[in-house]
Structure 1
């Protein structure tokens, strides 16, 4: 089983991912783990922007959106991540996991969302920022994720049709969100 978690900034996705990995006794991959794996394989330098979820250069994006160029630029990092994970059972945060692993029959793809004011408050507390700084941070991260996901997949980030489960972690809380994902996974796998 592979569980992929896309998320809005401040939704507690890392906590949900850890709980899922603990529940199933499987590895949990975040940006940091994936970058370490890419470095061990000698591919991090050429693909650091992908693994680090860096914002997409708008000029490069517009030039590469012309078909073959975009496919060449985006295909390699997606393939490398798919090869790194293989058929391993795990939980993966971000990195277009819902798209990369869409052919796996044991995929559970999740999108976590929540009220923006609550997400800003979470980031304000977590990162010890002012409300204005936290607001700017949440908006920036979400905007970057929109561009990143579109660049690598051609899909609209957060579109419910591209995920198995979309949950509001602000309303449910981390534990109930985790329970809902486990219930869904057990029902379909």
Structure 2
């Protein structure tokens, strides 16, 4: 049973974004990451930078976040916070993208939003702390904050955001079809495994 839509959730520094992009390139299908942010920005009127950051942070409790937006935005709708308004737009954008055809979607709770579709393969990429720490220093450079602390903080924000909107535990294996350790398997092997599953996933009803 071919899986046309692949969602990639990932720990920071695990290479999940690289894996997702490579999978999309090899399948010749659209890849949505920054592109998804741009689409949400277009439909919401929010600044793209704010949208990108909001997806990594715990949701706000007040409307105060509107004060920090860089572009004109619609009024608060139905008493929703900025975070909840963005979630609604993001939710609908992801559903629309999935309807358009095969694609790879990175992050943004796409595994949860598309959980009822049978043509999806939901993946989670994780890795050891050492692997991820070395990787973010190589890719993003040194910072005054230790790499381990950067990893812990960013993953904590993702975990809280995911829990808030899905009521599920981020990274728990039961929420995904496959969880891959890129520090053991390597980036290329993770790509190969996902490609094989996407093309040759058995039909559980048979």
- Given the two structures, how large is their TM-score scaled by the length of structure 2? 0.76
Question: 2 CA distance for matches of 1:179 and 1:163?
Answer: 17
Describe the shift of the 1:57–1:186 C-alpha distance in structure 2 as closer, same or farther (beyond 3 A). closer
CA contact (8 A) 2:41 2:47 kept: no
Question: 2 CA distance for matches of 1:48 and 1:81?
Answer: 18
Question: 2 CA distance for matches of 1:170 and 1:7?
Answer: 13
Among 20, 23, 33, which residue is 2:23 paired with? 20
Question: 1 CA distance for matches of 2:52 and 2:145?
Answer: 28
Structure 2 residue 58 is the aligned partner of structure 1 residue 45: no
* Bigger radius of gyration: 2
Describe the shift of the 1:180–1:86 C-alpha distance in structure 2 as closer, same or farther (beyond 3 A). same
Among 119, 123, 128, which residue is 2:141 paired with? 128
Structure 2 residue 131 is the aligned partner of structure 1 residue 86: no
RMSD of aligned C-alpha atoms? 2.5
Number of equivalences: 178
Describe the shift of the 1:131–1:183 C-alpha distance in structure 2 as closer, same or farther (beyond 3 A). farther
Unaligned runs of 5+ in 2: 63-79
Structure 2 residue 109 is the aligned partner of structure 1 residue 96: yes
Question: 2 CA distance for matches of 1:92 and 1:44?
Answer: 21
- Given the two structures, how large is their TM-score scaled by the length of structure 1? 0.83
Give the match for residue 55 of structure 1: 57
Unaligned runs of 5+ in 1: 61-68
Runs of 4+ aligned structure 1 residues displaced above 6 Å come to none
Of Structure 1 and Structure 2, the greater helix share is in: 1
